[in-house]
Structure 1
Amino acid sequence: MSSISANELKTRGVAAIEAALSQDSEAIISVRGKTRYVVMPIEHFNYLRECELEAALAQSNEDVAAGRFVVSTPEEHLNRIRAGEEA
């Protein structure tokens, strides 16, 4: 994965990001020698979000299949939340 220093980003701007992303799908931005951020093309970000949503859906389907759910009214749900119970 490519790396861009904060100083390089300050002096070169978006050109530094574009150069780094021409080699990899993600680039690390370091601040004072420490890894702080990751930048990526929006298409790659959208792909990762889609993967995250698919994983959440799969987990929800597993929970339903295993009976790990509660049927309740909105008021009952809010009361459980206020009481600190798990849904």
Structure 2
Amino acid sequence: MHMITANDLKVKGVPVLDEALSAHREAIITVRGQARYVVLSMETYDRLRELELDAALAEAKADLAAGRVHRDSVDEHIARIST
């Protein structure tokens, strides 16, 4: 993973991000020597979101298959979650 200082980002701007992301999937921006932010290419971000949504869908399907679901009316649902 490539490290970019906040000062380099301030001085060099977006080109420093372009350079880092051309060789790595992500870059860490450090502030006073501490890792504070992660920058991803849109391609990498989109792939991570897709994997996250796939995991959520798999979890929902597992809940449905195991019977961990409620089939309530709106009023019943509100009453159930309000208590």
Q: Same fold (TM over 0.5)?
A: yes
> TM-score, structure 2 length as denominator?
0.93
Gaps of 5+ in 2: none
- Report the equivalent of 1:61: 61
What is the distance in 1 between the residues matched to 2:36 and 2:70?
40
Number of residue-to-residue matches in the alignment: 83
**Percent of counterpart pairs with the same letter?**
49
Any runs of at least 4 consecutive aligned residues in structure 1 with deviations exceeding 3 A, and if so which? none
Report the 3-state secondary structure (helix = DSSP H, G, I; strand = E; otherwise coil) of the residue aligned with 1:51: helix
Report the 3-state secondary structure (helix = DSSP H, G, I; strand = E; otherwise coil) of the residue aligned with 1:62: helix
Q: CA RMSD in A?
A: 1.0
> TM-score, structure 1 length as denominator?
0.89
- Report the equivalent of 2:3: 3
Gaps of 5+ in 1: none
